[in-house]
Amino acid sequence: MDTTSRANEEQIALWNGTAGRGWVEAQQSLDRLFAPFETLLVEAVASRRAQRVLDVGCGTGSTSLAIARQLGARGTCVGLDISEPMIALATQRAERESARPRFLCADAQTHAFEPASFDLIVSRFGVMFFDDPVSAFSNLRRAAASGAALQVIAWRSPAENPFMTAAERAAASFVPELPARRPNEPGQFAFADRSRVHSILEQSDWGEIDIEPLDVACTLPEPELKDYIARLGPLARVLQQLDEPQRARIVAAVRAAFAPFVHGAEVRFTAACWMVGARRAR
């Protein structure tokens, strides 16, 4: 891991602790859930004829693996994340592939990339966790070749994503230690404000900035819902500190809040996101 700076210390601790373990345990469910976003980014690689791709916040590697398959022998993909457990799983998954991405456990905000080494930088929900996003996107711009593109997907507001906040809203009355989300802080909804995202990119010298709303239908098998509640998000971090009977009672109570999203054997919701594009000037 890149240890040249104490930047993002809180996020590094989080994603190398309970959050990272939760994503590793839920890898198959999350890959299915977010497959539509992966498809969009793979299409971006194909349409731009990219050959050197960086996947920022690659997690357990699904998007990097899909991009590597798309590139084949004509290109390379590097997946980068601050989470050692997620990178370890991503590396293990790559061993089964003929077209293998390279995975790197490092912080995109501070890592010393080789200058001008990528012609496309992508991310599926991996760029909202920087404590200094202008520094992070400036660092990524230096890693981008002349004319290189940036194509990232980030969440819009909590109000537009009721599925993503259902667990913590339902648990708030009986889990008082649940951490509150604060606007613009590093985390899932840090890029909710379109004007702020535009300003971050502008200040970090990206050009041709284009930020468009993206609404995507997502599905999850209903039997996987309780595991989703128990392993992911702010509530899951609190649940890890409780004994099994306490966890089971809270998960069962919170499960009721998801009733509007359950349709028979399937959980369905619309993910309200931004598709963010930009380019490094030639």
Strand 266-279 with 262-263, pairing: antiparallel
Residue 269 makes CB contacts below 8 A (sequence gap 6+) with 162, 163, 217, 218, 261
What's the average pLDDT block by block, 10 residues per block, for the chain (282 residues)? 62 92 94 96 96 98 97 96 98 94 97 97 97 97 97 97 92 77 90 98 97 97 92 85 82 91 96 98 78
Tell me whether residue 112 is in a domain. Answer: yes
CATH number at residue 188: 3.40.50.150
Number of domains in the chain: 1
For residue 259, the Cα-to-chain-centroid distance in whole angstroms is 26
Q: Say what the pLDDT of residue 2 is.
A: 43
Q: Say what the pLDDT of residue 183 is.
A: 83
Tell me whether residue 243 is in a domain. Answer: no
Q: Say what the pLDDT of residue 3 is.
A: 40
Q: Which domain holds residue 35?
A: 9-158+181-219+272-279
- CA-to-CA distance for 13 and 125, rounded, in angstroms? 18
- CA-to-CA distance for 186 and 57, rounded, in angstroms? 13
Long-range contacts of 129-133 (CB under 8 A, 24+ apart): 129/8, 129/11, 129/15, 129/57, 129/82, 129/186, 129/187, 129/190, 130/7, 130/8, 130/11, 130/186, 131/7, 131/8, 131/10, 131/11, 131/186, 132/7, 133/190, 133/200, 133/204
Tell me whether residue 90 is in a domain. Answer: yes
Tell me whether residue 267 is in a domain. Answer: no
Tell me whether residue 102 is in a domain. Answer: yes
CB neighbourhood size of 139 (10 A):
20
Tell me whether residue 238 is in a domain. Answer: no
Tell me whether residue 153 is in a domain. Answer: yes
- CA-to-CA distance for 184 and 164, rounded, in angstroms? 17
Q: Say what the pLDDT of residue 225 is.
A: 94
| Alpha-carbon dihedral sign for residues 38, 42, 48, 54 | positive
- CA-to-CA distance for 277 and 233, rounded, in angstroms? 27
- Which DSSP letter does residue 185 get? S
Tell me whether residue 207 is in a domain. Answer: yes
Residue 5 makes CB contacts below 8 A (sequence gap 6+) with 107, 109, 110
- Is the pTM above the cut of 0.85? yes
Length of the chain: 282
Q: Say what the pLDDT of residue 155 is.
A: 98
